[in-house]
């Protein structure tokens, strides 16, 4: 339920701010368009993006990102993730189709930006494996409730989960 609530908010808002960290520990943000896939209590985010030297360097030094969704009604969803470049050609082909499947604005045709297809050298596929998801609706905030938090068991901070 928590994962589905996160993806409901994320997929409704569509665009998020993704922050990486440079080799000096400074954050750097950009706006991206992830699609979240859930199966058997596993959630994975997929982002087609340009693998710029800056993004590559940031993820080489600190392979973690934060994705923050916010809308004018003050609903918020946050994914704290391990991040890596997906290089497997079969997986890239599958995810190419996955992002085009939902109706717009969530679904989109990556060929509009990467005409060379999933093997285009300018097309980077970033895989996001969350170690913490949280979400917060404006009504919850107004009522003084805490954000809802999910972590896979391998990362679970039982004190935080009990409080959230």
Is 140 a member of any domain?
A: yes
Question: What's the pLDDT at 156?
Answer: 66
Contact predicate 67/128, CB 8 Å: yes
Is 89 a member of any domain?
A: yes
Domain count, the chain: 1
C-alpha 58/C-alpha 22 separation (Å) is: 5
Does 6 score more than 90 pLDDT? yes
Residue 89 backbone dihedrals phi, psi, to 5 degrees: -65, -35
**Closest Cα partner for 46 from 8, 20, 13, 79?**
79
Query: What is the domain range of residue 55?
Result: 2-158
Q: What is the pLDDT of residues 68-100, one digit of tens each?
A: 999 999 999 999 999 999 999 999 999 999 999
Is 72 a member of any domain?
A: yes
Q: What is the pLDDT of residues 85-142, one digit of tens each?
A: 999 999 999 999 999 999 999 999 999 999 999 999 999 999 999 999 999 999 998 9
Give the mean pLDDT of 19-30: 96
Is 163 a member of any domain?
A: no
Question: What's the pLDDT at 161?
Answer: 44
Looking up residue 51, the CATH number of its domain turns out to be: 2.30.110.10
Does 34 score more than 50 pLDDT? yes
Query: Which pTM does this prediction carry?
Result: 0.91
Is 137 a member of any domain?
A: yes
């Amino acid at each position: 339920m928590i994962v589905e609530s996160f993806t409901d908010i994320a997929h409704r808002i569509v665009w998020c701010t993704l922050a990486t960290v440079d080799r000096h520990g400074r954050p750097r943000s950009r706006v991206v368009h992830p699609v979240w896939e859930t199966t058997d209590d596993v959630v994975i985010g997929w982002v087609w993006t340009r693998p710029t030297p800056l993004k590559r360097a940031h993820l080489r030094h600190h392979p973690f990102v934060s994705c923050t969704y916010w809308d004018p009604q003050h609903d918020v969803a946050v994914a704290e993730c391990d991040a890596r470049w997906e290089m497997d050609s079969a997986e890239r082909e599958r995810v190419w189709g996955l992002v085009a499947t939902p109706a717009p604005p969530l679904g989109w045709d990556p060929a509009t930006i990467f005409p060379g297809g999933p093997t285009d050298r300018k097309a980077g596929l970033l895989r996001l494996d969350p170690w913490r998801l949280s979400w917060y609706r404006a009504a919850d905030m107004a009522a003084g409730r805490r954000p809802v938090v999910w972590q896979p068991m391998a990362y679970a901070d039982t004190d935080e989960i009990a409080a959230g």
